[in-house]
Amino acid sequence: MLLLTRQKDVSREHENTSLEQAPDLMPMRIVEIELEQALPNISAVDPKTQRRYQRVLAVVRLHTQPLGLAELPLSTEELAPATYAPLLWNALSSEINEHCQQDGLPKLSELPLQGLASTTPPRCLAEREAFLASPDLPLVSVIIPTHDRPETLASCLEGVLAQRYPRFEVLVVDNKPSTDATQRLLTQISGTHPQVRYLREERPGIGNAANCGIAAAQGEILAFTDDDVVLDPYWLVELVRGFRQAEKVACVTGLVLPLELEQPAQFWFEQYAGFTKGFQRRLFDMKEHHPKTRLHPYTAGQFGTGASMAFTASFLKSIGGFDPALGGIGPVKAGLDISAFFEVMMHGYRLVYEPRALLYHLHRRDYSGLHKQLHNYGMGLTAYLTKCVWERPHLLFDLLPKLAYGLFFALSNRSAKNHKRQDNYPKALKQAELKGMLFGPLAYLQSRRVGRKVLRKNAL
């Protein structure tokens, strides 16, 4: 009864947040605008859903490379290029000219309505085509853990099979399924696409599912994504190219944008942090390439997210794969990805964040689901930190002096982590994250015990 009352309280807080009180939560139509082409008219009505919008979030690209986001008003039935081009220019003129400079193109003073088409292939596209023509492209294994979501998985696989990369296999790991729906879907797809393989993992948790994929993978590079994403056609090739950006790169992560912004919960997730890590390529290591903060490399969430990450197979196998105790085998449901990113740093390798590797993620639409998710994220953070100290006790002496600043970073609205939170961000979401953080250390130890029991049971 107490749990039921709490769920009703959470739902009531959500219901009391109206669009009149929080216009920033008004639904947004998400569109892509490729500046190389003539700028299109933007309709207030989505042609697929027939839903009408009053504002739009434009994902601005040039030569397929994402440059940034721009919010545009939709006060009329259709937004003409002459109306919104100055708005795009005001928001992203420096990014546009930076890209033009990198391609050896002349600097612009305004955004031409007819597009930025050139008579010769831009340098960035020529470099990508040259890479794809290389005779020694590595085989990539795309690993997708899933659990009872065949509908979103089908859409994800459609995007995987449309990748503009010639050498890859797809491993779908069905994690302790309750029906045979996923297996039937994969049987149908693999009939025409033999590079798609179905695997079944009876041990629960995304950590065990991911490790099952690692064991079966044949690729030199292992790329991971979720079953509720829509992939850009160049996602895979740009992840692979990321390994060529520097020496000793063991991991590449990509840009993750929201697939839709329809419900308040989806906006609050973006305010919480979202998955977006910016539109500039970044290199991370333990030497000169890292943010000059006291919390590096413990704030591993800034390196990327598990929805879009790739590792060299040799690195993942050298660390024994992912830790199931951070991947849902017990009470801890998050932290598996950031723990792996941390290991990249600790083993002296480099990580590249590559925004050209783009995908769209379907954020949770319901408030109760978001509430649970942020509780799990808070728990996953401190569980991962507990793992760091559990496996490397000497790090405790490094972490203790940083504890006060770490609490400020995690909880203060003035920290870099929380600066996007607005006045309409529910207090209950902050409390859910904090409660998860408090429970994280104990939850990690409980998850380890559950993992040992599962191993003993499977050994019998």
Q: What is the pLDDT of residue 58?
A: 98
Q: Is residue 217 part of a domain?
A: yes
Q: Which H or E run contains 355? A: strand 350-361
CA 225 – CA 361 distance, rounded (Å):
10
Would you say residue 203 has pLDDT above 70? Answer: yes
Query: Does 66 share its domain with 163?
Result: no
Of 342, 371, 400, which one is at a domain's C-terminal end? 371
Of 130, 158, 180, which one is at a domain's C-terminal end? 130
User: What is the Cα 278 distance to its own chain's centre?
Assistant: 11
CA 251 – CA 25 distance, rounded (Å):
35
CA 341 – CA 252 distance, rounded (Å):
10
Least confident stretch, 202-206, 356-360, 448-452: 448-452
Would you say residue 306 has pLDDT above 70? Answer: yes
Find which of 133-142, 291-300, 398-407 is predicted with most confidence, using mean pLDDT: 133-142
CATH of the domain at 349: 3.90.550.10
Q: Is residue 386 part of a domain?
A: no
CA 176 – CA 407 distance, rounded (Å):
37
Query: Which of the pair, 64 or 421, is modelled with greater confidence?
Result: 64
Domain containing residue 75: 21-130
Provide the 10 A C-beta neighbour count for residue 145. 27
Produce one character per residue of 28-41: b if its CB has 16 or more CB atoms within 10 Å, e if not: bbbbebbbeeebee
Would you say residue 11 has pLDDT above 60? Answer: no
Query: Does 98 share its domain with 116?
Result: yes
Mean pLDDT for the stretch of residues 176-196: 96
Q: What is the pLDDT of residue 273?
A: 75
Q: What is the pLDDT of residue 458?
A: 67
Q: Are 440 and 381 in contact (CB under 8 A)?
A: yes
Strands 196-201 and 350-361 come out as: unpaired
Least confident stretch, 19-33, 172-186, 189-203, 373-387: 19-33
Q: What is the pLDDT of residue 337?
A: 97
Q: What is the pLDDT of residue 329?
A: 85
Closest to 165 measured CA to CA, from 194, 143, 134, 144:
134
Q: Is residue 431 part of a domain?
A: no
Of 343, 371, 399, which one is at a domain's C-terminal end? 371
CA 157 – CA 227 distance, rounded (Å):
8
CA 82 – CA 103 distance, rounded (Å):
26
Mean pLDDT for the stretch of residues 400-409: 80
Supply 403's token pair.
């504890």
pLDDT band at 8 (very low <50, low <70, confident <90, very high): very low
Query: Does 323 share its domain with 359?
Result: yes
Query: Which of the pair, 297 or 451, is modelled with greater confidence?
Result: 297
Which residue in this structure is represented by tokens 């449901």?
Answer: 333
Q: What is the pLDDT of residue 7?
A: 41
CA 399 – CA 230 distance, rounded (Å):
38
Q: Is residue 390 part of a domain?
A: no
Q: What is the pLDDT of residue 122?
A: 94
CA 452 – CA 166 distance, rounded (Å):
40
Strands 196-201 and 168-175 come out as: parallel
Query: Does 29 share its domain with 96?
Result: yes
Mean pLDDT for the stretch of residues 171-197: 96
Least confident stretch, 212-226, 262-276, 312-326: 262-276
Q: Render pLDDT for 121-170 as a digit per residue (tens, 0 to 9).
A: 899 999 999 999 999 999 999 999 999 999 999 999 999 999 999 999 99
- Alpha-carbon dihedral sign for residues 349, 351, 357, 358: positive
Q: What is the pLDDT of residue 407?
A: 76
Query: Does 311 share its domain with 328?
Result: yes
Q: Render pLDDT for 364-378 as a digit per residue (tens, 0 to 9).
A: 999 999 999 999 999
Query: Does 47 share its domain with 103?
Result: yes
Query: Does 117 share its domain with 143?
Result: no
Closest to 452 measured CA to CA, from 330, 335, 339:
330
Would you say residue 294 has pLDDT above 90? Answer: no
Supply 364's token pair.
């949770």
Q: Is residue 447 part of a domain?
A: no
CA 269 – CA 230 distance, rounded (Å):
18
Mean pLDDT for the stretch of residues 331-343: 96
Q: Are 358 and 234 in contact (CB under 8 A)?
A: yes
Query: Does 168 share its domain with 231?
Result: yes
pLDDT band at 283 (very low <50, low <70, confident <90, very high): very high
Q: What is the pLDDT of residue 419?
A: 78
Q: What is the pLDDT of residue 6?
A: 41
Beta strands in 191-313 (DSSP E): 196-201, 221-225, 229-231, 249-258, 282-284, 308-312
Would you say residue 249 has pLDDT above 70? Answer: yes
Query: Does 201 share its domain with 221?
Result: yes
Share of the chain above pLDDT 70, in %: 94
Mean pLDDT for the stretch of residues 171-190: 96
Would you say residue 460 has pLDDT above 70? Answer: no
pLDDT band at 20 (very low <50, low <70, confident <90, very high): low
Torsion of CA 227, 230, 234, 240, to 10 degrees: -20
| Cis before 73 (ω within 30) | no
Q: How many CA atoms lie within 13 A of 378 on its CB side?
A: 22
Counted domains in the chain: 2
Q: Is residue 213 part of a domain?
A: yes
Would you say residue 19 has pLDDT above 70? Answer: no
Share of the chain above pLDDT 90, in %: 80
Mean pLDDT for the stretch of residues 1-26: 52
Question: In sequence order, which residues have a C-beta less than 8 Å from that of residue 452 and are 6 or more positions away?
Answer: none
Q: Is residue 16 part of a domain?
A: no
Question: In sequence order, which residues have a C-beta less than 8 Å from that of residue 182 and are 6 or more positions away?
Answer: 146, 148, 149, 150, 153, 172, 174, 198
Closest to 321 measured CA to CA, from 175, 437, 210:
210
Query: Does 143 share its domain with 120?
Result: no
Least confident stretch, 136-150, 208-222, 249-263, 406-420: 406-420
Would you say residue 415 has pLDDT above 80? Answer: no
Mean pLDDT for the stretch of residues 9-14: 47
Supply 76's token pair.
């009329």
Q: What is the pLDDT of residue 208?
A: 95
3-state secondary structure of 340: helix
Q: Are 378 and 444 in contact (CB under 8 A)?
A: no
Q: Render pLDDT for 86-120 as a digit per residue (tens, 0 to 9).
A: 999 999 999 999 999 999 999 999 999 999 988 88
Mean pLDDT for the stretch of residues 295-324: 95
Q: Is residue 388 part of a domain?
A: no
Would you say residue 383 has pLDDT above 80? Answer: yes
Would you say residue 3 has pLDDT above 50? Answer: no
Least confident stretch, 36-50, 228-242, 263-277, 386-400: 263-277
CA 336 – CA 331 distance, rounded (Å):
13
Q: Are 298 and 335 in contact (CB under 8 A)?
A: no
Mean pLDDT for the stretch of residues 61-77: 95
Query: Does 76 share its domain with 125?
Result: yes
Question: In sequence order, which residues have a C-beta less than 8 Å from that of residue 437 and are 6 or more positions away?
Answer: 378, 379, 381, 382, 410
Q: Are 113 and 38 in contact (CB under 8 A)?
A: yes
Query: Does 126 share its domain with 149?
Result: no
Closest to 222 measured CA to CA, from 332, 151, 319, 100:
319
